[in-house]
Amino acid sequence: MSIRTEIIGTTRDRLGECPLWDTRDQSLYWIDSKARLVRRLRDGEYREWATPSDVGSIALTQRGRLVLSVEDGFHLLDLDSGSTRRLAEIRHKGPSMRMNDGRTDRQGRFVAGSMVMGRHDTDGAYYRLDTNGSATQLFDGIALANATCFSPDGRTLYHADSFSDTISAVDYDPATGAAGPRRALFNTRPHGSAPDGTTVDADGNLWVALVQASKIGCFKPDGTLLQLLDVPAPFPTCPCFGGKNLDVLYVTSISNSGNLMRSEHPDAGAIFAFHGLGVRGLPEVLYDDRNLA
């Protein structure tokens, strides 16, 4: 197996996160949380949109808009006008908090968690944004929500509190969106890093950004390590599968997160693409915004 890595585009993110591949027009979306930007590459053409505050994650929607998880909750971004409006406010438990990592479930609802800043208190929680634009808390006790993704059958929600170094899971009811008790699956610290963003491939394996180790790890849900990829720059943050055959792994990264993660490497903050992995991902599920104005 011959794996080839390339850099996509010319942008460099301060805090790149949440790459998403839109199979409808072969576009790659991602965010720069600290620059407060949504970015897109389509056929080599680059566009960007401003967000109202630091942005933690995004979701593609059926009507061609984007859902944003930002400081005060969930917003809707119109790509034509660039305007945003709030769908659901999240009242955080403590100070200095914002929404962070998220993913659309298999039924078209968006699930995202929150994070604390400048402290390690577990004041954060996970929330489900339903298709009517209302938000419901699923569970709490989170300091830094990451690794959010769903099993191929949609019945398991994977997530992490990055400060715990542990990938966890909850049973997830596809019909109602209800979440069961959290259970720990495996710890990534033996591989030199806390877990950051994560995606699931078509076989149900987890591809985890090992941000402090400059690697992407592919794990079975029981923690068995299947593969380690070296990322040719520091601080990879989040992977997604894309390309025409969903067999390219795209990875965002950090150049300056505003805290300890900062690098002068010329490719820090770049988007990396891994070819030849012999693995395919799943199409990104679209948030169902058909009933939203």
Q: Cα separation of 124 and 129, whole Å?
A: 16
Helix (H, G, I), strand (E, B) or coil at 170: strand
In a domain, 291, yes or no: no
In a domain, 137, yes or no: yes
Q: Which residue range is the domain that position 270 belongs to?
A: 4-275
In a domain, 188, yes or no: yes
Percent of the chain with pLDDT over 70: 100
Burial 181-207 (b: 16+ CB within 10 A, else e): ebeebbebeebebbbbbbbbbeeebbb
- The Cβ of residue 125 has, within 10 Å, a number of other Cβ atoms equal to 19
Residues 198 and 219 sit within 8 Å (Cβ to Cβ): no
Mean per-residue pLDDT, 144-160: 98
pLDDT category of residue 258 using cuts at 50, 70 and 90: confident
Torsion region of 209: left, alpha or beta (phi above 0 gives left; psi -120 to 50 gives alpha): beta
Residues 272 and 281 sit within 8 Å (Cβ to Cβ): no
Q: What pLDDT, in 10s, does the model give residues 46-96?
A: 999 999 999 999 999 999 999 999 999 999 999 999 999 999 999 999 999
- The Cβ of residue 15 has, within 10 Å, a number of other Cβ atoms equal to 24
In a domain, 123, yes or no: yes
In a domain, 102, yes or no: yes
Q: What pLDDT, in 10s, does the model give residues 82-104?
A: 999 999 999 999 999 999 999 99
Q: Determine the length of the chain.
A: 293
Q: Cα separation of 154 and 73, whole Å?
A: 24
In a domain, 290, yes or no: no
Helix (H, G, I), strand (E, B) or coil at 203: coil
Mean per-residue pLDDT, 20-29: 98
Q: What pLDDT, in 10s, does the model give residues 223-254?
A: 999 999 999 999 999 999 999 999 999 999 99
For the chain, the domain total comes to 1
- CATH code: domain of residue 234: 2.120.10.30
Helix (H, G, I), strand (E, B) or coil at 123: coil
In a domain, 146, yes or no: yes
In a domain, 234, yes or no: yes
Residues 117 and 100 sit within 8 Å (Cβ to Cβ): no
Q: Give me the pLDDT at residue 260, please.
A: 80
